[in-house]
Amino acid sequence: MTASVPIWFDSFAVGEIDVAADGSLSLRYATRWLRTAGAFPLSVTMLLHAEPYPSDVISPWLANLLPEEQQLQVLTRSLGLDQSDVLAVLSEIGGDTAGALSFGAATERALWSYEPLTSFYETSDPLLALERHFEDLGRRPFLVGAEGVRQSLAGGQKKSALAVLDPEGRPVLRLPEEGDVLAVPLNGAPSTLIVKPDNPNLPGITENEVWCLRMAQACGIDAAQASILQSSKRTAIAVLRYDRRIGRSGQLLRLHQEDFAQANGIPPGRKYERGTLPGLDLKTLLETGRYINASDALALLDQVIFNILVANTDAHAKNYSLILPIDAAPRLAPLYDVSTVLSWPHVVKTYAQSIDGKKRRPDMVAGRHWEAIAREKGYRPTDVKNRVQQIVDAMVANKAKVTREVGALPGATKGYVTQTAETVEGNALRMVGRL
């Protein structure tokens, strides 16, 4: 062993990751953690037992905690680290990650603090502070290098993890309301909000994603709460973190979670099914429901159906997650990261997973393909097609209400909202017409 990095849940030592001379990793749970009532595993691939887990199990799980692509390049360049040294990167930025864990140093509640964006960027104008924050993310992802900031989120999109403070300065678990303040979590304090600035290559992305998530909720599908933030020049998607909760005494607590790439032991580079090394296919994705109860497994099918109906062709393995709560069985996380690609002619239209064994676009999906999805998982084809019909009926019934609500949000461009609503409804009706 040449190095060891501890893993923490607040001030509780969960285990250690050891680095061998050849660079291979191993994970060993702390003896005290194994004896702690309510202890949770890091992953469904790493259940609680005393024997160490080898590098081929722990390495892909760790890699899925980091940002990807250009975000990772800029971040590691700023840190002076090799992109492949995942553990070293997490030791630097892994104070507030997806889920409940911290890497390298414990997060002591007594040291938690939140700095309002206006103070962080030295301006009294909250809209200007938010704009400066968006600009800052392009230079230093996750504010790397800022004193007291250690945070990481997966994915290639520019984003940050902030906290919503009420008028009294206390962190609250809700979407921002009038009088609230956006703040940077410091010294391991948990964030409550994921903020994703708009993208000029995907015009209307903020309205698009917020509409899709709110439509899912209107259809009875558990989905992340989302709204639109407006800076002095731009907009952003604000998503309430589902891996946070409020304790009995009103304190902010973390919930552990992992995405389906982690739950299936595959690295982030294999989050799509197709490639030199194949990733998660639709059958395996649905079979990940074996870790959750029957009701959640059906909810997972609903998430898959909804992603197909709205043409969210980027719904890869990291766009589905499990929550691993204390002293309870895993459950399905809410739907998140949903947008229709039909608004953008230049974006690839084939789904992240093959449907009935082939690459397919939204305009290719017909009744026999839903039957194939059903057979792969052992569902009755008629039941699956009936569920598709029910979800489409709910989408049509709620279209006007959701479109009106999203269009009324501050910063929303009504044309983009209407475009999303019309294209999604047209796609869904076309699909249901071919059942």
* Apex 13 CA angle, 11 and 18, nearest 5: 140
> Could you tell me the residue ranges of all domains in the chain?
3-102, 109-240, 257-263+279-433
**DSSP assignment of 367-395:** HHHHHHHHHHHT--HHHHHHHHHHHHHHH
Which is higher by pLDDT, 1 or 236?
236
Confidence bin at 142 (pLDDT 50/70/90):
confident
Q: What is the pLDDT of residues 61-79, one digit of tens each?
A: 999 998 887 788 877 888 8
CATH of 257-263+279-433 among 1.20.120, 3.90.550, 3.30.1490, 1.10.1070: 1.10.1070
Q: What is the pLDDT of residues 32-63, one digit of tens each?
A: 999 998 899 999 999 999 999 999 999 999 99
> In angstroms, rounded to a whole number, what is the distance separating the alpha carbons of residues 318 and 341?
18
- pLDDT mean over 215-229: 98
Residue 22 has pLDDT above 90, yes or no: no
pTM confidence score: 0.95
- CB-based contact 320:306 (threshold 8 Å): no
Confidence bin at 369 (pLDDT 50/70/90):
very high
Q: How many CA atoms lie within 13 A of 301 on its CB side?
A: 25
Residue 307 has pLDDT above 90, yes or no: yes
Confidence bin at 145 (pLDDT 50/70/90):
confident
Residue 1 has pLDDT above 70, yes or no: no
pLDDT of residue 220: 98
* Apex 82 CA angle, 149 and 104, nearest 5: 40
Share of residues in the chain with pLDDT > 90 (%): 77
